Amino acid sequence: GGQEAEYTARVARMVVATIDISPFANPAAHDDAARARAAADWDRAMSDVGFAVVAGHGVAPEVVGALRSAAHEFFERSAEAKAAYCHGPYGNPLGGYTGIGTEAVSRTRDTHGGDGGRSAGASAAAPPDLVESFIFKPASPAAAPTCLDKPASAYHSELLRVLGCLHQLTAAALSLPADYFERFYSPHAEVSLRLAYYPALSASEQASSAVRYGEHTDYTGFTLLSQDESDLGEEGAGGLQVKLRSGHWHALQPVRGCFVVNIGDLYEVWTNGRWRSTVHRVMKPPAGSASAAAPRLSIPFFTGPHNEAVIEALPTCVDEEHPPLYEPVLAREHLRRKLSASNV
């Protein structure tokens, strides 16, 4: 009943910490002690789960709301209208639209992630994911739909600002100079704003083995997610789920006005295994439920270092007891291997 749901929600909040990053987003209003506390919390969250709920980021709710309503407007268009914005497979440099049936993300599972890639879902024959996408790239020569252009540009620039705060927070958490990560992300980071639209499920899709988005770890740096508020955060309700070190799946409840942030595989290399990229998935709601009959819109902002960055263990994450676990890897090469595995 109600008490049980409340308990589940409380445990969920304990598993995935909520971290207020305002000491970094609005530094003049906070002292170094507040920044040190946030950094210690961040280190713990990234070491334990690899996910955190981020508050205090300073992005106005109107900026998020405008993009969400524009995205719904675009995805409700006819298949023909949307196809005009298709410029190639998912991951192509122009961005744009990709339809359902073009991607099977769980085929990208390798040895990264808290389970070392040993999971049963990591199947080379996984069915394609039940998701349509639009990738917005502000500098793309291919024009975005008019309805998306302004709201997506505003959101994109705000999230780049938040990303800068997260890099300072991360540097503090790992005892590095505040500007340490700038060299990997400038002159321009490899970022990708993805509008992920999960259409209402047909009766046959509700009954099939396909999931909305298969289990995977993210490929590169931080992912900043605007979660769909209809993800109810209960095990059977569908929506975003995180795999804990215990092997249990844990549903993440949306927190209004917050982003869910998680790390990708390159942070596992950078921190020499101290931080783990966490396996996660998007499940279908139960067949016949109201949630199954409704579309879901999730907005991940994927971020990573520029293509030529060499990623190797950070100086503060290596010592005699912790020799480097991974070979240095070129960011571009790592991403290419992942994308070639996921396209159907």
Q: What is the CA radius of gyration of the chain?
A: 19
Query: What's the confidence (pLDDT) of residue 233?
Result: 57
Binned at pLDDT 50, 70 and 90, residue 341 comes out as low
The residue among 15, 50, 56 whose CA lies nearest residue 38 is: 56
Q: Tokens 């909040």 identify what position?
A: 13
What are the pLDDT digits (tens) for 160-183?
Answer: 999 999 999 999 999 999 999 999
Q: Is the pLDDT of residue 107 over 50?
A: no
| Neighbouring C-alpha atoms within 13 Å toward the C-beta of 130 | 24
State the Cα–Cα distance between residues 116 and 110, nearest whole angstrom.
8
Q: Is the pLDDT of residue 315 over 90?
A: yes
Q: Is the dihedral of CA 294, 233, 120, 325 positive or negative?
A: positive
> In whole angstroms, how far apart are CA 230 and each of 71, 162, 256, 300?
16, 24, 11, 16
**Percent of the chain predicted with pLDDT > 90:** 55
Q: Is the pLDDT of residue 293 over 90?
A: no
What are the pLDDT digits (tens) for 2-23?
Answer: 566 555 555 555 689 999 999 9
What are the pLDDT digits (tens) for 126-170?
Answer: 556 678 999 999 988 998 999 999 999 999 999 999 999 999 999
Query: What's the confidence (pLDDT) of residue 14?
Result: 62
**Where is average pLDDT lowest: 29-38, 112-121, 174-183, 246-255?**
112-121
Query: 146-173 and 32-48 helices cross at what angle (nearest 10)?
Result: 100
Which one is predicted more confidently, 18 or 207? 18
Query: What's the confidence (pLDDT) of residue 37?
Result: 98
pTM of the model: 0.85
Q: Is the pLDDT of residue 296 over 50?
A: yes
Query: What's the confidence (pLDDT) of residue 285?
Result: 74
Q: What is the mean pLDDT of residues 252-267?
A: 91
Which one is predicted more confidently, 298 or 11? 298
